[in-house]
Amino acid sequence: MVWQSSDVTAVENPFEIRVFDGHVEVMQPYRLVSGQHYRLQAVSTDREVLTAQWFLAGNLGRITTGNQPTLTAVFVGEGYLMCRVNGVEQRVRLSVLPATGTIGNRGGTLKSPAGIEISLPEGALLIERHIGIEIVASPGLTPTAQQLIRVVQVSPARLVLKRPAQLTFLFGGDVFPNIKPRLYFWEPFGKQWVPLQSRVNTIQGSVTTSINHFGIYTLMVPTPVNVEHPDRLQIQNVKLSPRVFFAPDRHRLTIAYQLNAPDAMQAFVTMDIFDLRGKRVRRLLENAPHYIGPHVAQWDGLTDEGRLVRNGRYFLIIRARMGSQRTVYRKLVVVFK
């Protein structure tokens, strides 16, 4: 296909556009993966690599020019890759898709070329699920004086796991030599970024956190703050969003909380929903290892058997243990359908 503008000569197939993933040529139709880098070539009919100008139509990614032009696929969607050689222009249609994989109840790992990895343990899913990871635009402003690095969506966005998964962002060992970045979750009802305590591996250049739900996550460089640690393990700053859990068939309840302790050690958290008669309705976390700091969990309004709960009042019970220390936090949850 030849695309013609007022200052371009229309010539039928004077060269062909070639796209490579590493050393492997990508065949048409071009279906590229969000976060992946692709090498571009314009090749003449006698197989000579030509000097060309490259353009993208559509908000799909970015092109780096030079001796080896590179296309980085970013946002999911459809558009055109355009190439100009000696005043002649051609274009090819392309699509950018999420990195995808199918994971069942035995667990598994999905890696994205965007530098994201999610590992689900056995029992996290009851049935096979089609999982996707894609780069997305930030849904909201970052906290003051914090540098946003990368925003991704893990889908299906409304999925709440039976057992926590490990979410890892790779950032490169030499990008932040003296600063530890942190992961954040976008809380859709409150429209705000919620910090997540993470494990930073400066040698590998990675940040890992534990999550019990999918959604939008980002890596930021936070503003350093001084934290005063108590003399015992505590559960603090528990906040529900929305404060009244309405329409659970369409929304999820976000439970933000803080683990605090004298040392930056690991605690094990169990989180349950009980009705007023003391019967357990749903177990959200069971002895899940959490680092000291802020965390987020979600409830989809379902029981352990997968039924939507009735209207009424329930109790959120969070238990944490660290060595010989134990602590419990109780909070009322109101469900209104």
Identify whether 262 is preceded by a cis peptide bond (ω within 30 of 0).
no
Least Cα distance to 273 among 242, 238, 236, 298 occurs for 298
* Mean pLDDT, rounded, for 311-326: 95
Shared domain check, 134 and 124? yes
Shared domain check, 89 and 21? yes
The CATH number that applies at residue 270 is: 2.60.40.10
Query: Which of 221, 246, 281 is the C-terminal boundary of a domain?
Result: 221
DSSP 8-state code for residue 223: P
Shared domain check, 115 and 82? no
Tell me the chain's radius of gyration from C-alpha atoms: 24
pLDDT at 264 over 80: no
Spatial contact of 319 and 328, defined as CB atoms under 8 Å apart: yes
Shared domain check, 91 and 103? no
Shared domain check, 120 and 68? no
- Most confidently modeled of 10-14, 38-42, 44-48, 64-68? 38-42
Token digits of residue 165: 């998964």
pLDDT range class, residue 177, cuts 50, 70, 90: low
Query: Which of 72, 97, 122 is the C-terminal boundary of a domain?
Result: 97
Note whether residue 110 is domain-resident: yes
Note whether residue 152 is domain-resident: yes
pLDDT range class, residue 309, cuts 50, 70, 90: very high
Residues 140 and 219: their CA atoms lie apart, in Å, by 14
Please tell me the predicted confidence (pLDDT) of residue 92.
95
Q: Is 232 helix (H, G, I), strand (E, B) or coil?
A: coil
Spatial contact of 115 and 35, defined as CB atoms under 8 Å apart: yes
* Mean pLDDT, rounded, for 331-335: 97
Shared domain check, 153 and 206? yes
Give the chain's domain count.
3
Shared domain check, 203 and 105? yes
pLDDT at 174 over 60: no
Shared domain check, 103 and 53? no
Choose between 256 and 46: higher pLDDT.
256
Q: Is 188 helix (H, G, I), strand (E, B) or coil?
A: coil
* Mean pLDDT, rounded, for 85-108: 95
Note whether residue 10 is domain-resident: no
Residues 211 and 165: their CA atoms lie apart, in Å, by 5
Least Cα distance to 124 among 286, 318, 294, 292 occurs for 286
Please tell me the predicted confidence (pLDDT) of residue 13.
58
| CB burial string 189-220: b at 16+ within 10 A, e below | ebebbbbbbbbbeeeebbbbbbbbbbbbbbbb
The CATH number that applies at residue 107 is: 2.60.220.30
pLDDT range class, residue 225, cuts 50, 70, 90: low
pLDDT at 139 over 60: yes
Note whether residue 227 is domain-resident: no
Shared domain check, 110 and 86? no
Least Cα distance to 30 among 66, 86, 73, 75 occurs for 73
Structural domain range at position 295? 234-336
Note whether residue 65 is domain-resident: yes
Shared domain check, 106 and 40? no
Note whether residue 2 is domain-resident: no
Chain-centroid distance, C-alpha 261: 28
Shared domain check, 305 and 206? no
Note whether residue 47 is domain-resident: yes
Shared domain check, 214 and 281? no
Query: Which of 191, 221, 251 is the C-terminal boundary of a domain?
Result: 221
pLDDT at 143 over 60: yes
